[in-house]
C-alpha cells in the first residue's frame, strides 16, 4: 500500500471585516482564474499546522505561531491517495496588496462576495464548512459569560 500524501490548505480570516484571504496563482508557467486557499504538501516531519506555517511564510512572508492556526476539518481524496487538511488563522493584522512575495495574487473577500468568484466546487464546499466552523466559534465565544461572585 502506498503512503498517503497529505495536503494542507488554509486561509486568513479577519473577524472585524468578516473577510477571508484567497489567492490566484499568477506565475508565468501556471495562470489560474480560480480563487483558492493557500495550499501545499505537508512534509513527512510536519503536522498540518506546521505545514501551513511554512506555506504562509514562503508565499506571503507572514510569520505565524502554531497557536494561531486552527483546524477546520480534514477529509480523504481517495482517487488521489491524499488526505486534505483545511486550516485558518484569525487575524486583523495581515495587510496584503495585489502582489505578494510569491507567484500568488491575493485579495480579501466577504463571504457574500464569494459566490461571484470563479473557484472549484471543492473550494466552495470547504469555504462553506469553514464559515460554519467560524460562526460556531463566534456563538461559543459570545456565550461565555464571566460571572463575578461577591
pLDDT tens digits for range 131-144: 999 999 888 888 76
Range of the domain at 127: 5-136
Has residue 145 been placed in a domain?
no
Residue 9: which of 71, 58, 101, 102 has the closest Cα? Answer: 71
Give the pLDDT score at 98: 40
Q: How many domains does the chain have?
A: 1
Has residue 28 been placed in a domain?
yes
- Are the beta carbons of 3 and 42 closer than 8 angstroms? no
CATH code at position 11: 3.90.79.10
Has residue 144 been placed in a domain?
no
Has residue 35 been placed in a domain?
yes
* Ramachandran quadrant class, 48 (left: phi over 0; alpha: psi -120 to 50; beta: rest): alpha
pTM of the prediction? 0.83
DSSP-derived pairing of the beta strands 5-14 and 82-90? parallel
Has residue 121 been placed in a domain?
yes
Residue 87: which of 43, 42, 118 has the closest Cα? Answer: 42
Amino acid at each position: 500500500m502506498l503512503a498517503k500524501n497529505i495536503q494542507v490548505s488554509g486561509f486568513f480570516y479577519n473577524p472585524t471585516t468578516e473577510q477571508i484571504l484567497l489567492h490566484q496563482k499568477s506565475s508565468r508557467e501556471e495562470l489560474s482564474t480560480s480563487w483558492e486557499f493557500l495550499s501545499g504538501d505537508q512534509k513527512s516531519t510536519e503536522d498540518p499546522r506546521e505545514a501551513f506555517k511554512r506555506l504562509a511564510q514562503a508565499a506571503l512572508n507572514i510569520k505565524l505561531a502554531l497557536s494561531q492556526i486552527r483546524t477546520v476539518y480534514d477529509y480523504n481524496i481517495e482517487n488521489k491517495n491524499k488526505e486534505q487538511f483545511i486550516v485558518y488563522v484569525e487575524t486583523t493584522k495581515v495587510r496584503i496588496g495585489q502582489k505578494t512575495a510569491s507567484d500568488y495574487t491575493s485579495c480579501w473577500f466577504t463571504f457574500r462576495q464569494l459566490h461571484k468568484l470563479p473557484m472549484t466546487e471543492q473550494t466552495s464546499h470547504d469555504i462553506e464548512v469553514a464559515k460554519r466552523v467560524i460562526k460556531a466559534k463566534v456563538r461559543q465565544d459570545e456565550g461565555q459569560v464571566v460571572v463575578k461572585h461577591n
